[in-house]
Structure 1
Amino acid sequence: MIEEIYQIFYDKLPASLVDILPVYNECKIVTCLNPYYMVKLKTEDYHIYDEFDYICSDGMGPLKLQKWFGHPKSVRLSFDLSAMAGPVFRDAIKNDKGLYVLGAKPGEVEKSVETIKGNFERLRIAGFHHGYIKGEEDKIVSEIKESGASVVIIGMGAPAQDEMAVRLKKAGFVGSVYTCGGFIHQTQEGMVSFPEWSNKLGLRWLYRIFTQRGMLKRLIETYPKFAVTYPLFLLRMK
């Protein structure tokens, strides 16, 4: 039942940005979920999310509903400059730790790495690879571990990126792993950030409707169901 993924999501929400900052002496894996993915996820994939240390809310909808129904918890955190990416990269720089970038198409990931380096000059890039790795996952896991990276970002779409994060954890990777959705693809030509007004007013979804193809269709397909089933879940928690 869909309430199972809602419970996993709620239980693993971070209290603040501090919770998801990198650690370097053990493995921490962090992902983000939004209403679209929770509604679309197959039941057999729910177990993947039990393995995560934190699951961030990539959207204000769940957080607002939690507040309205008496379960306030967490803040909106997604892997972009307005939330997680900057603090994670700066922490790696501060501690002189290497970053591995995994995701996007061949040719795109190279451009993204150059963008990241251009904006975070002292960030050490330990390695990178495109996200089309089906059948080669174990090889890439070994490459990441051998690279000396202590921070990994993975942008392969859910649930593939989440499966890869869990694979790294089970393979004994030491450091912090973040799924980053479309961050790698979106930063080919420059660091993309949402307008300040959209962050302040909680209207990132509206901005995305006009800037991202297919966003309106995604909202129509999944958000009405979420708007009914998540409040029911929250009511049953009381």
Structure 2
Amino acid sequence: MIEKIYQLFYDKLPDSLAQVLPKYDRCQLVTCLNPYYLVMLSPKDYPLYEKFDYISSDGMGPLKLNKLFGKSKSVRLSFDLSSMAGPVFRNMISHGESMYMLGAKPNEIEKSVNTIKKNFKGIKIAGFHHGYIKDCKQNIVNEIILSGAKVVIIGMGAPMQDEIAVMLKEKGFIGSVYTCGGFIHQTTEGIISFPEWTNKFGVRWLYRIFTQKGMLKRLLRTYPKFVISYSWFLLFQIKIET
């Protein structure tokens, strides 16, 4: 069954940053998945990802395996300042559009909003809300649409953030929705969430082992399984889109 999410992931990998920049005349959904979520997602959540325009690889591992097995495509894109977030914000500013931010804890979301406003002059924030919305998801979706925002970033972890993105699409939202994982939390104290050297050498995973509690256990639990099962998929089960 896991080959279904692998196929969706592979088919929806963006080829470039330009592909995922905001669209303002239609609904575009962009999410990011890493090996942990690809392994841990429940099959009942797989249909969510059929609704996305792009599923980018939040990590180099899947892309290196693609290249190893002759299936090279895409670039690493995650919603952070090392790849996607900055260009998205600047595109939004140049078009005069506004953004809604959803995620993190009540005190964290406000700090993140202030950090982004300080570092991206002229950015418009149409609204924001913390991510503890289990009992009022539909109300928040309605609030986002009524805010007039044309860009939404959601940082609540998969699959809940992806569920909210799909709810927006099904409710008729026009604009671009990005899931951002831990970006909101990471920007509460400043705009740089990872040292530049970790991006340059492709070792953000190593930095996270030493700075994020439970990361080593998470990697050991899921990454060996991912390497084996995704390699098998690339070798024997992949169906190339035509």
Q: What's 1:198 paired with?
A: 198
How many positions carry a matched residue from both structures?
A: 238
Q: 1:193: Cα distance to partner?
A: 3.3
SS state at 1:126 partner: strand
Superposition pairs of residues 94-109 of structure 1, within 5 angstroms: 94-109=94-109
Equivalent residue for 2:116? 116
Q: Could you state the TM-score of these two structures normalised by the residue count of structure 2? A: 0.96
In the other structure, the counterpart of 1:27 is 27
Structure 1 residues 173-193: Cα deviation after superposition (integer angstroms, max 9, x where no partner) = 000000000111111111123
Deviations 1:166-222 (A, max 9, x none): 000000000000000011111111112322222122111111111111111110000
Q: Residues of 1 paired with 2:224 and 2:138: CA distance? A: 39
The 5 A counterparts of 1:56-135 are: 56-135=56-135
SS of the aligned residue for 1:149 comes to coil
What RMSD in Å do the two structures reach over aligned CA positions?
Answer: 0.9
Counterpart residue number, 1:145: 145
In 2, the alpha carbon distance for the partners of 1:105 and 1:224 equals: 32
Aligned twin of 1:210: 210
The equivalent of 2:227 in structure 1 is 227
2:38 corresponds in structure 1 to 38
Task: Provide structure 1 residue ranges, at least 5 long, that are not aligned to the other structure.
Answer: none
Task: Determine the C-alpha separation between the residues in 2 that align with 1:51 and 1:17.
Answer: 20
Structure 1 runs, 4 residues or longer, greater than 6 Å off: none
Question: CA shift at 1:108, angstroms?
Answer: 1.0
The percent identity for this pair of structures is: 69
- The 2-side partners of 1:195 and 1:132 are apart by 29
Instruction: Determine the C-alpha separation between the residues in 1 that align with 2:107 and 2:195.
Output: 27
Match in the other structure for 2:182: 182
Gaps of 5+ in 2: none
Rounded Cα–Cα distance in structure 2 between residues aligned with 1:190 and 1:73: 33
C-alpha distance in 1, partners of 2:135/2:54?
27
CA distance in 2, matches of 1:44, 1:141: 22
